[in-house]
Amino acid sequence: MRRWLLWFLLVPQGFLLAGFWRDVGLPAIDAAVLCCLFLALFADRNALPWLLLGVAIGRALVDEASLPVQILVLGVPTAVLVPMRRLFSGQHWAWQALAASLCAVTIPKLAGLCGRLFDQPSASAHLDGYAVLRAALLVPPLLFVVRRLPPCRYFSEVV
């Protein structure tokens, strides 16, 4: 129970923390890509739906689209990557960088698609090449740290 409380308390605020990080002039980190990658590669599969809900709530704080759109935008790349976990069995940095850049491309594209389909456009639908590069370079080392910290640590799957 405690781990779930921590998840729903801390993870949504992580999106605001990423905004604070950007405000102080540090290189912007896409919290959505970071969370998506954690869910896809390291999170407990049985807990995935509720973990995804916590992440979607966080993204709904900083993005104009509604909560179900956030679930789709974050859930679809996660759902595609989860069955390919075996490919990432070595969890090599290069694979993680590749997965991070795929997420950094897919998330804005999905946000744009959902915006058009459900009439909920958002500013996050804009694809930025530098954001993809930053995701590939920064997300894997950050993920290495984050998954050893609570609450991610409590939901890491051991194969």
Partner 1 sequence: MSGAWGVRKKPAAFPVGLYSMLLFALCWLTLPAVFAPVERWLVGCACLVPRTLSAWFGEPAAARAPEAQQRLQELSAELRRRIAEHDVAGASKLLPATYEPICCAVLDAPRDKARRGGGGQPGELRLDHSYAEVDGCCELVTKGNALLGFLQRPGVGIADGDRPQDPARVMLCNHRAARPVYAEMSMPEGAAMHLVVAAAAAVDPAPLRADLWEDPYRAARLGRGGQPVHTETVADATVLVPSGLELGRTRVWGYEQHGADEAVAIGVYVVPPVEPRALSFVVLWRQAAGPRAAGPPELRSGQVQRLPATVYDLPGVAYGRHLLVVGQAVPDGAAVVDNGLFLGTARGLAFGTGLMTSFIASRHRWSLILMPDDPRERPRELEGEILRTEHDDAWLRWCSDRWSTAHERLLPGYLFTGSNGACCPAGLWIGRAEPHPYEHDLLRVTTPRERGPRAAQVLVAGGRT
Residue 43 has phi, psi (to 5 degrees) of -80, 155
Among the listed residues 95, 98, 121, 137, the single contact to partner 1 using CB under 8 A: 121
Q: In b/e form, how buried is each residue of 65-95, taking b as 16+ CB within 10 angstroms? A: beeebbbbbbbbbbeebeeeeeebeeeeeeb
The sign of the dihedral angle between the CA atoms of 137, 138, 143, 145 is: positive
Q: How far is CA 48 from the centre of its chain?
A: 12
Among the listed residues 41, 55, 69, 99, the single contact to partner 1 using CB under 8 A: 69
Distance in Å, CB of 35 to partner 1, minimum: 14
Among the listed residues 5, 26, 27, 44, the single contact to partner 1 using CB under 8 A: 44
Among the listed residues 45, 87, 92, 141, the single contact to partner 1 using CB under 8 A: 45
Among the listed residues 5, 26, 27, 49, the single contact to partner 1 using CB under 8 A: 49
Q: Judged by CB under 8 A, does residue 1 bind partner 1?
A: no
CB 122 within 8 A of CB 64: yes
3-state secondary structure of 139: helix
CB-wise, 49 or 141, nearer to partner 1? 49
Distance in Å, CB of 97 to partner 1, minimum: 19
Q: Judged by CB under 8 A, does residue 159 bind partner 1?
A: yes
